[in-house]
Amino acid sequence: MQTIYILWLRQVKKYFRSRSRIIGSLGQPLLFLISFGFGFGSIYQKAGEGNYLQFLAPGIILMSVLFTAIFSGIDLIWDRQFGFLKETMVAPVSRLSIMFGKTLGGATVAIIQGLIVFVLTLVIGFRPTNFYLLPVALIFIILIALLFTAFGTAIASVLEDMQGFQLIMNFLVMPIFFLSGAFSPMEGLPKFMAIITRIDPLTYGVDGLRGSLIGSVHFGLGFDLLILALLTTLLLFIGSYLFFKIEV
């Protein structure tokens, strides 16, 4: 437990020490909120769908969680290259403790980032309609943070260096975000798009967060929670297995 706490604290401290990282990570969510939320707002309203910013904000919150969680997992590559991981591995502690400490630390950073963006959406004009479901919204943020931090750890466990990182970003992470229903409703999609959307794990986070914040849900909150809980558990096991296979 002490190892988990130390590694968790290291991840969180590293995040708060880097003010430029905190400010820089808010740029993309702010850009999407302003350019899409207000740029396409009139078109969305003319289509009879209401306020687009209300629809968009939950997806942007989870976008921030997604990218922060993935980057936290990928930090493992830097730790390997600069020798910190080797120093940790030779310590008389289990690899499972190391993996869970780093995963929980990365997930905590992603949760904090998501909450900061949530506050930012309130400043921009987003207004939750279901305040009594805010704890449920927090659960969705936590599950997405854990899921994708474990996913990032699994990726980092098989990558030798940062050369494959751009490939992962362009062909895996970006499609996960754009195909999650963050920008457009999931009703009326072509059949092939509907299948891809259902395979995307972020879809259930976006749907659940949107349902808990503004009451617009496609699959159902219970179903979204179940799928995310199962996927998070699976990714934690996969991430742990691949982490055990790391050679330093």
Distance CA 229, CA 59 (A): 19
Residue 184's pLDDT is what?
81
C-beta of residue 126 within 8 angstroms of C-beta of residue 57: yes
pTM: 0.89
Distance between CA atoms of residues 206 and 125, nearest Å: 19
pLDDT given for residue 98 in this prediction:
75
Q: What is the pLDDT of residue 137?
A: 94
pLDDT at res. 205:
95
CA 54 – CA 223 distance, rounded (Å): 22
Determine the residue type at 182. Answer: A
pLDDT tens over the chain, length 248 residues: 666 667 667 767 776 666 666 676 777 888 888 887 777 666 666 555 667 888 889 999 999 999 888 887 777 777 777 666 666 666 666 767 777 888 888 899 899 999 999 999 999 888 998 888 999 999 999 999 999 998 888 888 777 766 776 677 677 888 898 888 888 888 777 888 888 899 999 999 999 999 999 988 989 999 999 999 999 999 988 888 887 777 65
Q: How far is CA 86 from CA 1, 7, 78, 148, in A?
A: 20, 14, 11, 24
Q: What is the pLDDT of residue 86?
A: 65
207/220 Cα distance (integer angstroms): 8
From the centroid of its chain, how far is CA 212?
17
Q: Please report the pLDDT score of residue 121 as a whole number.
A: 92
At residue 186, the 3 state secondary structure works out as coil
Burial string for 217-243 (b: 16+ CB within 10 Å, else e) reads bbbebeebbebbeebbeebbeebbebb
Q: Which two tokens stand for residue 244?
A: 């055990």
